Structure 1
Amino acid sequence: MSTPETQEPAVRVDRDEKDPAVAVVTLNRPQRRNALTVELKEALVEALNLVAGDAEVRAVVLTGSGKSFCVGQDLGEHAETLRADPATSFNTVERHYNPIVRALAEMPKPVVAAINGGAVGAGLGFALACDLRVAAEGAPFATAFAAIGLTADSGLSASLVHSLGAARATELMLLGESFSAEQAKEWGLVRAVVPAGEVLGAALELARRLAAGPTAAYAEIKKALALGAVSPLETVLAGEGAGQARLGVTRDHQGAVDAFLAKQRPTFEGA
């Protein structure tokens, strides 16, 4: 799909030149700060499902083109849907936002967000649905929903609480105050803050490291962490045990044990 403004694809999927096991998914409406239209959201769902199902891809980078990561819903398009039929204008949450967040959070391989600029509303939700984040110096973050009379979408009600605790999450949601990439790093939301021109490179370096790792184990770790965030201890213990059993028969685990005993560095195949 292409954007009507430029005929460029609304979402690009590229392979890293240094490591083709890394896929880069780029939101591509730079002239509108990667604001989310139906076209872009549908293209993003398709792109994420594509890389999730590609066995050759072992790590993913999500980023935005231009100077913004993603500023959330395109309010011009939203206004049109409200005028057309307010009762159905929020069907996009079930059709688009929820599948995007599930695709990122449940991706069976690590996802690194390269936050090259502003991450607002659903854009912030997408970033927090990724596993690791690298941000540009001074990049602004905000929830923004209360400012237009809405509650959260894109999983922010959970991801903010789990990442920052209920008190700070409540402040950010109710007051809508923006915060910087530097504050986000201080709070533990992002791994690193680097100059804007170095964000993608830093994220790719991290993704390459992950792509060389035990992909199946990473998928199980993601499942275990998601379960651990919301479940009682007995459920967590059972989930961990089941995950260990599944990994115990993988070539990666068996090869790593043999390498450890031989005092060698393991090489992971991703299976």
Structure 2
Amino acid sequence: MAYEHITLDESDGVATLTINRPQMLNALHTGVIGEMIDAVDKLRDEASSRVLLLTGAGRGFSSGADLANTGGAVRSGPIDAGFVLETHFNPLLERLFALPMPFITAVNGPAAGAGCSFALAGDIVIAARSAYFLQAFINIGLVPDVGSTWLLPRLAGKARAQAMMMLGERIPAETAEEWGMIWKCVDDDQLMPTAQEIAAKLAKGPTRSYALIRQGIRACMDTSLTEGLMVERRNQMIAGRTADFAEGVSAFLQKRPAAFKGK
């Protein structure tokens, strides 16, 4: 597929996917999401990269759904506003969560609505100091979607998440870091260097172990202790059979850096 609304660059094991509609603050419509799904499927199936880095072009990560690109449906009366979630937005989020590789987001400006969800879905979220997170659905009489009501309470806690959604107020990147919503807030000019440095480190690591970690954490957040222990036991069995585990042990015993291959 030729991409019109995104770019996908792969180098040294890192795939950088950029939402590329800067003139629209990277607003999301079905065309954008369709291209993102194609790119994520490509990365999953071809296994040519070992880390995904998601960001936005220009001065923002994403302003959320493109309300100006609805074919007049919003203005014509009641519609099923959840239909496009089922057909496009939710399948993309599910794919991002299921990726067999680490997923980093570099939030370079406003991350609103669905853009907020995709930004916070990263395993490691880094935000520029000028960035902010916004759940603005209440301002147009809708409810948070694209996993927001599942993800945000787990990141920030129920009280903060609920107030953020009901008040529709911006959460600055520094506050998001204090709340535990993101990993780190950095100066604007350090955003991409920091994200790329982390991506490069992960690209040289044990990729299958990273995948088991990201999947294991999500599984254990919704289970009992006993079930969580069973998840860990299963994942440890899988990790223990990888070539990277054998290499890691050999490198430790030989007192040398490990040369992981992601296998």
Distance 2:170 2:94 in 1: 25
SS of match in other structure, 1:270: coil
Mapped pair 1:29 → 2:21: yes
Q: Which residue of 2 aligns with 1:9?
A: 4
Q: Structure 1 residue aligned with 2:243, among 251, 257, 261?
A: 251
What is the deviation of 1:79?
6.6
User: Is the CA contact (8 Å cut-off) linking 1:78 and 1:89 kept in structure 2?
Assistant: no
User: Which residue identity lines up with residue 15 of structure 1 in the other structure?
Assistant: E
Distance 1:107 1:123 in 2: 19
User: Which residue identity lines up with residue 117 of structure 1 in the other structure?
Assistant: G
Distance 1:75 1:222 in 2: 33
Q: Which residue of 2 aligns with 1:162?
A: 154
- Structure 1, unmatched stretches of 5+, are 3-7
Distance 1:85 1:207 in 2: 45
Q: Percent sequence identity over matched residues? A: 37
What is the deviation of 1:83?
4.5
User: Which residue identity lines up with residue 95 of structure 1 in the other structure?
Assistant: T
Q: Structure 2 residue aligned with 1:95, among 81, 84, 87?
A: 87
Pair 1:41–1:84, CA change in 2 (3 A) = farther
**RMSD, matched Cα:** 1.7
- Counterparts of residues 190-205 of structure 1 (less than 5 Å): 190-205=182-197
Aligned pairs, number: 263
Distance 1:98 1:195 in 2: 32
User: Is the CA contact (8 Å cut-off) linking 1:81 and 1:89 kept in structure 2?
Assistant: no
Q: Which residue of 2 aligns with 1:133?
A: 125
Q: Which residue of 1 aligns with 2:214?
A: 222
Distance 1:194 1:30 in 2: 21
Distance 2:168 2:220 in 1: 28
SS of match in other structure, 1:157: helix
SS of match in other structure, 2:61: strand
1:121-174 superposed Cα distances (whole Å, 9 cap, x missing partner): 110100111111111112121111111111111111111111111111111111
Q: Which residue of 2 aligns with 1:143?
A: 135
- Structure 2, unmatched stretches of 5+, are none
User: Is the CA contact (8 Å cut-off) linking 1:26 and 1:62 kept in structure 2?
Assistant: yes
User: Is the CA contact (8 Å cut-off) linking 1:134 and 1:193 kept in structure 2?
Assistant: yes
